[in-house]
Amino acid sequence: MFTIFFEHRLLTGLIAAFLLLSVVCQMIAGLVYHKLISETDNMPATENKQLKQCKQKYASYYKLNGKMVNTEVFVERFVQKICFAKIQITRFVHASGQLMMLSILLAGIAICLSLAAGNTLFQIMPYYLVSILGLYLYFSISGIVDIHERRKILKTNLTDYLENYFVPRLESERESAMEEGVKKREKYALEFMEDKKGEEKARTGDFEEQAQPVVKHYQDELENLLEEFFA
């Protein structure tokens, strides 16, 4: 019965390849999300490149705007841009469904060709079995991987960390930076005032030094006049 696969080797090979690729795409997406979810449990010390970029971008937006207006939107955009081998994970999910449909389509084409060649229903039954088992495998893997639930968990974990842990730390750093800036400005102001006082004192001392000879001259003349008057 299964010898019919050898009559359409190319179609049979494509059916198997598309089915396998469909499952692989599902598993890749699921493993990437699983790894990110496990990394979010230790976000402060994570070495994951994408999560580190997430924190850096969030900190940049927060410092630029003073605060993050909508963390959920930021997280949603980040999750949509998650990549594996520079390909977005959402593309793997879509490709998985498309590859599964291509596998079913090719199985249908093989069935039509077999019927046209005069094969009986019993002889083409393997293609029906492959189609049914392929769909069962696809939906089983989809249920096990559960991409949508993993995306939801990842978004919840990221939002919780950014809003409840990362924002207070950024706010504390901003306040510390502001206090340090105020102290520096006060220090510079005091130094500036001291420099001004020093300059004023220096100018006053120069004036007194210049005025002393003139005062002495007038004192000498006054003493001479008094001596002549009493002589």
Average pLDDT of span 5-34: 88
Q: Which long-range contacts link 31-38 to residues 24+ away (Cβ below 8 Å)? A: 32/82, 32/84, 32/89, 33/82, 33/89, 33/147, 33/150, 33/151, 33/154, 34/150, 36/82, 36/154, 37/150, 37/153, 37/154, 37/157
Angle (CA) 48 45 147, round 5°? 45
Mean pLDDT score across all residues of the chain = 80
pLDDT tens for each residue of 67-111: 666 888 889 999 999 999 889 999 999 999 999 999 999 988 888
Nearest to 99 by CA among 21, 169, 161: 21
